[in-house]
Amino acid sequence: MDNLDTIDLSLLKTLHHNAKLTTKELAAKVNLSPTPVFERVKRLEKKGYIKKYIALLNADKLNQGFIVFCNIKLKKHDKEVGNQFVADILKLKEVVECYNISGEFDFLLKVYAQDMKHYQDFVFNKLGAVKSIGSTHSTFVMSEIKNTHGIGIF
């Protein structure tokens, strides 16, 4: 967090909660005029503190509310197998998050599906086509308790 002052942190916090604010609205929230706010936000973007702006969609309304965490164990641990796994996973639209993890499994996937039948089809026909996978373990989400879609410094 090099060279971030309280105004920068306030801007990040405010944008984290509502990135749709205009520069004028944002300026009012941090007690600054619009021009320096615009310049600060551009600097925060350029330095990589703000990666991108997105709209958070309602998965239930889009018939994609069945969430599954899928643990993956690779068949073999080498660079070629790992790189091929990553390339294959990046092509699967159902996988919205993928983490390389430590412990019993190698990767953790967050998958959105319509229902159990759709997830089963995904596992058999899409995940099953990924040749580097040795085994999987699925955990089905019963209820989402907290999801802030961000980091916990605010």
- Domains in the chain, start-ordered, CATH in brackets? 6-46 (1.10.10.10), 66-140 (3.30.70.920)
What does the pLDDT look like over 25-70, one tens digit per residue? 999 999 999 999 999 999 999 999 999 999 999 999 999 999 999 9
Show Cβ contacts of residue 49 under 8 Å, excluding neighbours closer than 6 positions.
Answer: 4, 8, 12
Show Cβ contacts of residue 29 under 8 Å, excluding neighbours closer than 6 positions.
Answer: 10, 14, 21
Q: Please tell me the least confidently modeled range out of 22-26, 64-68, 149-153.
A: 149-153
